[in-house]
Structure formats: structure tokens, C-alpha cells
A and B are shown apart, each in its own frame.
Chain A
């Protein structure tokens, strides 16, 4: 209703903000302590931004949503993602192994993730729109109907509890029946 419209407006604004090149570079070579410090700092910056632009409800609890990444070995990694941050950024903040070669500029498909739960897949039209983009980028990787680009999924309250799987890299080398010829 009214609330959801505000959320959508806020998310839309945040989305256009995040598209500007202000993404955090990959921090995998920095010591963990530094990483945690950054995360705390980020949380502060984002929560104030989110509070300003998002719901006017004054409901401060929803600054972060819970997201679970399932890595290539099947291990669950639970993280909290501030509203307005992309899943790719969130993965990097938490040292999760998700490639982002073009750093979110829609020029590659290396941040390929698979949305695991049906509810989120169905209700969120924003995620569904990203389907188009992944077809443009992906040439050599098998894609599933719930495949998405991690850099385009922006944290919103509706995505609370989102589960994203990171596909294994070496399998599924081919797409659409094309088989690489054995050397």
C-alpha cells in the first residue's frame, strides 16, 4: 500500500545511486580487522542514508536485512546487508568468493548467483527484471531460471531472508547444448 510504494520509491532512488561508480573495491587482501571496521563504518553511512530516503515510517529496525549465501561447497554463510547495498558488494564486504570483474557495470556475468527460495523469486519484480540482463551477458555458463546478477540485486526490506547460491565454476562450462570439443 502506501508503505510499499515508499519502499519502492526509496529502493528506486537507492538503485540509481548505487549504479554510480562508487562501489567498494574487493577487500580480500586486507586483514580481517580492517574489514570489520569498514563494515561498521559502512553500516553507519548506509543506515543514515536509508533512513533518509526510505520509509518515512520512522521504523529504524529495518536498516539491514538477513541474507544467506550458499557457497560452492554447499556451506551456508549468514550475513547482514544494509538496505541499498548490492549483493555483490555485500559479498565482498564479507569476504565471500563472488567475482565481480566489471565491478557492477553490466559488462560481464561473473557475479552470477542463483536465487534459492521461491517466495523471493516470485514476489520481487526487480529481481525478475535482471533476468534480461543475465541473458545479455552470459555466453558460456549454464543458467537456471532463477539465475541473477549479484551486482543488480539491491537489498530491500522485502528481500529479508534471501538465500543466494553461488554456482560452481568448473562445471557447466557450456550453454545451450554447446559442448566444448575435447582437446
Chain B
């Protein structure tokens, strides 16, 4: 079938291309989606791109993941807005892949579909007690303070405990720790959601533990973020000196990785001298070589978290010494706490009609081209289906990483356009077809103009409170504007 098709395409290429523009749909309006759209528009003059997102607001994690005290990272939305305002590009919010429209329907309507919907679920620890109240995924907590409508009513209890335990030592864990410990006067001037600010102002949390299975050399955070959290005013840092001792295997790891070495150096110099501890003092404890064994129920409140039990670990290297792995030692200890956040990694969600690798949590792909299960010898690619961003690479990297990811996916798309793989006999319905279908299903589509109204309203409200913006945080408010 492939060779027959190829002859057809070659003959088609000899005659000039039909003037029907190619129509591509990008699912997800975060950095991966927008960078891909931008690059497609720039590389191909006759392509129209439609970006859909299940939220009425665009920009994905730039809006709902980047911490409120990191406004410079959000400046990239200016560039994204210019892409959306391009006449060959449209944004349609409040369109959910799976419920508003199915993947096969989208693939019928467009020449190509690029999936860039990221990772909206979490890895779980898989230990007893994980269902107790007071335990949240860091993703939910971040969505809560960033005003994501899905977590508007998370309502974490910050008043009945003075201790929070965070599992994970990556940049997200640091973000969450920083928001919990930063003086609220500083947060009041950011675009943090007001319901979160109110809760934080009444918070009694003074001690935060950042718990990692391995040592300071393996901590996943980066130097810039670590420096920031260590520099918080009036914050006391606690690290066990024994944890800072390095092994020869650690030295090798640091030699090969400059970032690791910097992080280790920062941690080793971070401990503040201990004066007499006084209640109400804010403390940040870096706990290394501990893995969670189980969550303990509180004695005072049934069904609620009271503490965590941790098991000490030691590191064992692989043969090739690429990565050292934590192994339990059978020695346990407890930390009592009322709030626990799991920052151990995000996970993507599978949808109907999409090949999915549930072990890795990504869509199987090569360079961005999706393939179905490669059980046969010949690689069977899904025509016109691509991925970009976290759905392609797994939940790692920074905003700028998506730039390179989008370039790679674009290369595959351009290649396929050139070979005529994406052209069809009749022009695809694209935008009009999509809007017609959604209309028949009574879906309220939010265009980019409508988002700009939401944007203006948020900035106006923010102006009244001396904040860059006051986010609208419920579905009703967002759809009403």
C-alpha cells in the first residue's frame, strides 16, 4: 500500500500543488503547543494552524505551573500571543480532547494533529496511607496557588499543623517549599491566586522538610532555584553534616555534571548556625537518604495525616556507574506532620484512539512521529499524528527545552509534507468543520479575542490590589467574560 501511495504522491508533486492549504491542529496551548505552531507557520506559508486547549485560558503551565514569584519566566506569553494573533492561526479554548471531540474525529478534520497536552497526572508513591487527608500531589498544590480552576476548591489545611513534608527535591519541590515559607507580604505583590494568599497568610506552617531518597549530589534541583530558596529572609536551613559526605562514586558523578557539583557546593555551604530555636521560626530541612515507608494517621483526627515513616537508604551504583540507586536498610524513623506534598514526577494521561506507553507515561514516538506498537519488523507510523513536549519526552526540562523539542517535531512534519504524506484528495474541513461540530454539541468555544478580554479583566482587577493580575479562578467566571 505504501509503494502505491508513493507513486501517486510523486506524480502529484510534479504537477503544482493544489491551492488548498494544509490544516494542522495542535492539541494543547502550553510552550510545546505554541512553539510547534510558531515553527510550522514560519516554515510553511500555506498551512493553517488551530490550537485547542481544554481550559478557556491558554499557555498551559506557563500560567498554571510557573511560580508567582517568577514573573520573568512568564514573559514568553508575549511571544505566544503574537503567534495566536497571526491570521493563519486560531486558538480555541474550552475544547477538551476526549469529551468535546474525539481523536479520530480530529484526525478526520485536519491533515495532521500534533498532541502537546503535557502531563496532568502524577506518579504515586504506592505506600500505605496515601489516601489520608492532608496529602496532595505537588501538581495540585501548584495549580491551587496559581488559580487553576480544577483546584480552586482544594482547600489545603495550613492551620492545624506547623510541619509540612515534601517528597522530592526537584525544582517543583523547591517552588512549593518557597511558597510555603516565603513572607506573605512578598507574595501579595505577585499574581498568586487570592484564595491561596489568604490561606497562606493564616498558615501555621513553619517547618518544611524536603525529603529525598538519595544524597545531595543526586538532588534534581538546579543551582539558580536552590540559591533562591536558600536566600529567603529569616529562614534557617538544616542539613545533617553526615549527609554531605561524598563517596568516590559521587565525585565521579559531579565531575561529569557541572550542575550537580554546583548544587552540592551550595548545599554544603548552606547550613545556618543554630542559635536557640524559638517557636514560630521558619525552618527548611533538607533530608537525604530517606525513602517513604508509610503515612501515619493522626491520633487526634481520624482519616487525617499525622506523620510519615521513613526508611534510611544507602546508595548502590550500577555496574556502569551511570546512576546510583537508593536501597533500603531496614532502619526507620518518623516525622510528625499535618501536610505532605508528593513532588516525585508528573505523568501523562492516555486517551482513546492513542497508542500509549504506560510504563514510561508517554506516547511512543520517534523524533515526534507517533507509531503504533512496533511488534512487527516494519515500523508502522500513524499518519498525520505527532507529539511534542512532555507527552513526547516525559515530564522534564524547562520552558526553553520545548523550543528544541518543537524543532525536532517540525522536522518530521516538514519531511512528511515534502513527501506528500499529509496531502489528501479533498481539502480537509479544518477550522470550519471543528467549529460546526462543536456548535452542534453546544460547546462554548473561547477564542483568543475572548481570552484577551479575560486577560484585560484580570489585569484590571490586579491593578486595584497592586498585583500584576488577579486571576479568575472558576470555570463560571472564565466562561462568563
Chain A residues in the interface with B (C-beta under 8 A)? 25-26, 28-29, 99-103, 105-110, 135-137, 139-141, 169-170, 173, 175-178, 180, 182-183
The 4 closest A-B pairs by CB, nearest first: A107-B72, A105-B72, A101-B76, A169-B407
Contacting A at CB under 8 A, from B51-71, are: 70
Q: Which of chain A's residues have a CB closer than 8 A to the CB of B73?
A: 102, 107-108
List the interface of chain B (C-beta within 8 A of A).
Answer: 42, 70, 72-73, 75-76, 78-79, 82, 86, 222-224, 256-259, 262, 357, 360, 362, 364-366, 392-393, 397-401, 403-404, 407-408, 411
Chain B residues lying within 8 Å of A180, measured Cβ to Cβ, are: 393
**Partner among B76, B78, B364, B404 whose Cβ is within 8 Å of the Cβ of A108:** B76
Partner of B257, one of A25, A26, A177, A183: A177
User: Which listed residue, A26, A100, A141, A177, touches B404 by the CB 8 Å rule?
Assistant: A141
Cβ-defined partner of B401 (8 Å) among A26, A99, A140? A140
Q: Are B362 and A183 in contact (CB under 8 A)?
A: yes
- Looking at the assembled complex, report how far the CB atom of B175 sits from the nearest CB atom of chain A, in whole angstroms: 14
Q: Which of B75, B222, B398 contacts A103 (CB 8 A)?
A: B75
Is A136 a contact of B224 with CB atoms below 8 Å? yes
15 pairs of residues in contact across A and B, judged by CB atoms under 8 Å: A26-B82, A101-B79, A107-B75, A108-B76, A108-B399, A139-B259, A139-B401, A140-B401, A141-B404, A170-B404, A170-B408, A170-B411, A176-B257, A182-B366, A183-B362
In contact, A176 and B398 (Cβ under 8 angstroms): no
Chain B residues with CB under 8 A of A110 = 400, 403
Tell me the interface secondary structure of chain A in the complex: loop
Report how far A137 CA is from B397 CA in the complex, Å: 12
Report the minimum CB–CB distance from A175 to chain B (whole Å): 8
Residues of B within 8 A of A106 (CB): 72
Closest chain B residue, CB of each to CB of A97:
B42
The answer to whether A183 touches B398, judged by C-beta atoms less than 8 angstroms apart, is no
Q: Is the CB of A173 within 8 A of B404?
A: yes
Residues of chain B within 8 A (CB-CB) of A26 are: 79, 82
Give the most central of B222, B224, B256, B397: most A CB within 10 Å: B224
| Across-interface contacts of B399 in A (CB, < 8 A) | 101, 108
A100 to B82, CA, bound (A): 13
Which of these, B362, B397, B407, B411, contacts A140 with CB under 8 Å? Answer: B397
> Nearest Cβ distance between residue B286 and chain A, in whole angstroms?
21
- The answer to whether A140 and B223 touch across the interface, beta carbons within 8 angstroms, is no
B403 touches A183 (CB 8 A): no
CB <8 Å contact, B256 and A139: no
Please indicate the chain A residues that have their CB under 8 angstroms from the CB of B224 in the complex: 136-137
> What's the nearest-Cβ distance from chain A to residue B73, in Å?
5
> Of all chain B residues, which has the CB nearest A175?
B259
Nearest chain B CB to A145 CB, angstrom units? 13
Q: Within the complex, what minimum Cβ distance (angstroms) separates B147 from chain A?
A: 21
**Knowing A135-B258, A169-B403 touch, does A101 contact B75 (C-beta < 8 A)?**
yes
Q: A73 to chain B: closest CB distance in Å? A: 14
Q: How many angstroms from the CA of A178 to the CA of B365 in the assembled complex?
A: 20
- The CB with the most chain A CB atoms within 10 A, among B70, B75, B259, B407, is that of B75
- Residues from chain A with Cβ under 8 Å of B362 in the complex: 183
Answer whether A176 and B259 are a contact pair too, CB < 8 Å, given A108-B73, A108-B76, A183-B362.
yes
* Inter-chain contact B404/A140, CB cutoff 8 Å: yes
CB proximity of A20 to chain B, nearest CB, Å = 14
Say yes or no: A170 contacts B407, CB within 8 Å. Answer: yes
Determine whether the beta carbon of A105 is less than 8 Å from that of B75.
yes
